[in-house]
Amino acid sequence: MLGQIARRRLGLLLLLHGQQRISNGLNRVSFNQLLSKETHRHMQSSFNTSSPISTMSLWPFSFQPRDFSLPNSSWSPEMCKAYDHYNALCDTDTENGEEKKRGPWKKLPSYNRSIKYATGGIHLSKLIQAKARLFTRNVKEQGATFEYVVFVNKEEKSCVCVFQAGRLLEGAPGHVHGGAIATMIDTVTGSLAGYLSGPIMTANLNIDYRSPMPLDSVVLIQSTLDRIEGRKTFITCKVTSTDESKLYTEATALFVSISVGHLFGTRN
């Protein structure tokens, strides 16, 4: 639930634009569809995409956030090849306005703030800590740090991330910092846990580093659901080369389901 200050600011914005009411979709923040909207393929106009809010014309803000997981010029041929492989397995494709069924996978969008996944979150992010940015998406230069895309398979309760490590992630000379690898493991396992269980936070992360990872490497971060016990979601993970011949890291993670209020610093 939003605090009183945020509510007043929302009301003031609507008043200034001559509107008399807020739609039901903006009276609350729904995280039930967290990470459940598949972004349309790159190169499509943002004006052709559907919006989670039916009253977008009431708002003076841009309603199409940038999806950082789409291919860009910094991606290596290996990164593009892996992306194309998993993207071809995604569950739907849009051609001439018609959706065609394909495979069991879904590509997850990646924004620079987690709040944007919520109903109305694209606009709320402009009001609540507007300058905050997701750690893995806070560098403007493409290819310098974290380049990645996540695909999830709800049927198999698993996901795979294609990750390219940029030059600013160096630890030991010429190799990726262990903290950067841990960040990506937390990101990917958390994406799967959130997709399956709703709003969650990391409770425990155990990592075994098997081999050093060279800078500019393209790797697969594969995560699978182990089990769910009440509010606890247990995930296993491994980091390998794209052909899976090289094992870089193994990990287990525990996530705990939380209430929406915790995400806004409020109590229920």
Catalytic residue among 84, 91, 186, 226: 186
Go through 61-96 and write b for each residue having 16 or more CB atoms within 10 A of its CB, e for each that does not: eeeebebbbbbeeebeebbeebbeebbeebbeeeee
CB 35 within 8 A of CB 191: yes
- Angstrom distance (rounded) from CA 157 to CA 242: 20
Q: Which two tokens mark 170? A: 């160096």
**Tokens 């052709």, located at residue:** 48
Q: Which residues contact 59 (CB under 8 A, 6 or more apart)?
A: 13, 17, 123
Q: Is 67 a catalytic residue?
A: no
Backbone dihedral angles phi then psi of residue 125, each to the nearest 5 degrees: -65, -20
**Distance in angstroms (rounded) separating the CA atoms of residues 145 and 139:** 7
DSSP single-letter state for residue 175: B
Tokens found for residue 146:
């974290």
Q: Looking at the annotation, which residues are catalytic?
A: 186
